[in-house]
Structure 1
Amino acid sequence: MTTLSLRPISMRKKCLRTLYLTHRWLGLTMGVLMLSWCLSGIVMLWRPWPTPIAGTELVGHAPLLLPPSLPMVPSLMEPGSRFQSFRLGMVGAEPVLTLFPVTGTPFAVDLRTGQTSSIPFQGASINAQAYAALLGVQNAPVFDGITTDDQWVLDTPAHQQGFERFRFPGPARLVVYVSPVTGDVVQATDKVSRAWAWVGAIPHWLYPAVLRRHPPVWKTVVIVLSGAGIFLTVTGLFIGCLCLRRRWPFSAYRRWHLVHHFFGMLFGILALSWITTGFLTMTPAGLFASNKDRLDPVHVTGSISGSELQLLLERIATHRTTGWIDIRGVFLDGRIFLAITDGKGHRERLDDNLTPTPLETSTLGQSARLLTTPDSYYFNRSTHPRHFPVIRLIADNGVLFYVDAQTGAVQAAFDTPARYSRWFVYGPHDINFLPWLRTASARLWVVFPLLSGVFVLYLVGMVIGIRRFILLWRKTRSS
Structure 2
Amino acid sequence: MWRKVRRWLYLIHRWMGIAGCLLIAMWFGSGLVMMYIGFPVLTEAERLAGLPPLDVRAVATTPDAAMAAAGLSSFPRSLRLEMAGDLPVYRMVDDKGRPHTVAATDGRVIGAVDAATAQGTAQRFAGKPARWIETAERDQWTVPNGLNAWRPLHRIAIDDGRGTELYVSAKTGEVMRDTHRTERFWNWLGAVPHWLYFTPIRKDPPLWRQVVLWTSGPCVVVAITGVWIGWLRLRVRRRFAHGSMAGVSPYHGWMAWHHVAGLAGALFLLGWLISGWLSVNPNQWFNGRGFDGAALQRYAGHARASFPAPDWLGMLADGGAREIRMTWVGNVPALQVASGQGEITVLDPRSGAPVHWDRAMLTRTAGTLMPDAKVVASFLQTDADTYWYSHHNARRLPVLRLTFDDADHTWAYVDPSTGQVIGRSDDSRRLYRWVFNAAHCYDFASLTQQRLAWDVVMWVLSMAGLVMSVSGVVVGWRRLRR
Bin for the TM-score computed over the shorter chain: 0.7 to 0.9
Select the residue among 221, 233, 238 that pairs with 1:243: 233
Q: Which residue number in structure 2 is paired with residue 268 of structure 1?
A: 266
User: Shift of the alpha carbon at 1:50?
Assistant: 2.4
Most deviating of 437-446 and 456-465: 437-446
Do the aligned partners of 1:31 and 1:462 also contact (CA within 8 Å) in 2?
yes
Question: 1:73 is matched with which residue?
Answer: 65
Q: Which residue of 1 aligns with 2:475?
A: 464
Q: State the secondary structure of the residue aligned to 1:276.
A: helix
- Do the aligned partners of 1:89 and 1:96 also contact (CA within 8 Å) in 2? yes
After superposition, residues 382-393 of structure 1 pair within 5 angstroms as 382=392, 384-393=393-402
> Please, which of 153, 156, 168 is the counterpart of residue 158 of structure 2?
168
Matches within 5 A, 1:75-474: 75-76=67-68, 80-118=73-111, 120=113, 124-133=118-127, 138=128, 140-155=129-144, 157-162=146-151, 163-169=153-159, 171-179=161-169, 185-245=175-235, 246-248=237-239, 249-290=247-288, 294=292, 298=296, 301-306=299-304, 308-309=306-307, 312-313=308-309, 315-317=310-312, 319-322=314-317, 323=319, 324-342=321-339, 346-353=343-350, 354-365=352-363, 367-382=377-392, 384-394=393-403, 399-437=410-448, 439-470=450-481, 472=482
TM-score, normalised to structure 1, is: 0.84
Q: Deviations over 1:200-219 (max 9, x none)?
A: 11111111111100111111
Distance in 2 of aligned mates of 1:103 and 1:303: 19
C-alpha distance 150-291 of structure 1, shift in aligned 2 (>3 A): same
Q: Single out whichever of 56-65 and 140-149 deviates more from structure 2.
A: 140-149
**Matches of 1:212 and 1:331, distance apart in 2:** 36
Contact 2:31 2:194 (8 Å CA) reproduced = yes
Q: Which moved more, 1:159-168 or 1:68-77?
A: 68-77
Does the C-alpha gap of structure 1 residues 123 and 369 become closer, same or farther in structure 2, counting only changes over 3 Å?
A: farther
Give ranges in structure 1 of 5+ residues lacking alignment.
1-10, 473-479
Compute the displacement of 1:196 (Å): 0.5
Trace 1:46-57 onto structure 2 (pairs within 5 A). Answer: 46-52=36-42, 55-57=45-47
Report the Cα offset of residue 431 of structure 1: 0.6
In structure 2, relative to structure 1, the CA distance for the partners of 1:447 and 1:295 (3 Å cut) is farther
Counting aligned pairs with the same residue, the percent is 28
Q: Deviations over 1:142-169 (max 9, x none)?
A: 2345544322122373443224431225
Question: CA offsets per residue over residues 114-154 of structure 1, 9 Å max, x none?
Answer: 23324745565455335534xxxx3x212345544322122
Q: TM-score, normalised by structure 2?
A: 0.84
Greater alpha carbon shift after TM alignment, 270-279 vs 351-360:
351-360
Cα 1:341/1:170, change in 2 over 3 Å: closer
Give the root-mean-square deviation of aligned CA atoms.
Answer: 3.0
Structure 2: gaps spanning 5 or more residues: 240-246, 364-374
Report if the CA contact (8 A) 2:41-2:177 is conserved: yes
Change (3 A) 1:352 1:294: same
Structure 1 pair 174–377 and aligned structure 2 pair: CA distance change class (3 A): same
1:35 is aligned to 2:44: no
- Give CA-to-partner distance per residue, 1:61-115, whole Å, 9 cap, x none: 2233244743672743868423344211222221211224344423221122323
In the comparison of the two structures, how many residue pairs are matched? 452
CA contact (8 A) 2:80 2:325 kept: yes
Post-superposition CA distance 1:6-32 (Å, at most 9, x none)? xxxxx4323322321221111112222
The one-letter amino acid of 2:349's match is D
Q: Cα distance 1:331–1:429, how it changes in 2: closer, same or farther (>3 A)?
A: same
Residues 1:171 and 1:254: Cα distance change in structure 2 (over 3 Å): same
Q: CA distance change for structure 1 residues 180 and 377 in 2, over 3 Å: closer, same or farther? A: farther
**Cα distance between partner residues in 1 of 2:378 and 2:172:** 30
Residues 236 and 264, structure 1, Cα contact 8 Å, conserved in 2: yes
Alignment deviations for residues 186-239 of structure 1 (CA, whole Å, 9 cap, x no partner)? 321111101100101111111111110011111111101111100000000111
Counterpart AA for 2:296 = V
Cα offset for 1:255? 2.8
TM-aligned CA distance change 1:184 to 1:68, over 3 Å: closer
Question: Take 1:303 and 1:357, find their aligned partners in 2: how far apart are those partners?
Answer: 17
Cα distance in 2 between the residues matched to 1:19 and 1:240: 11
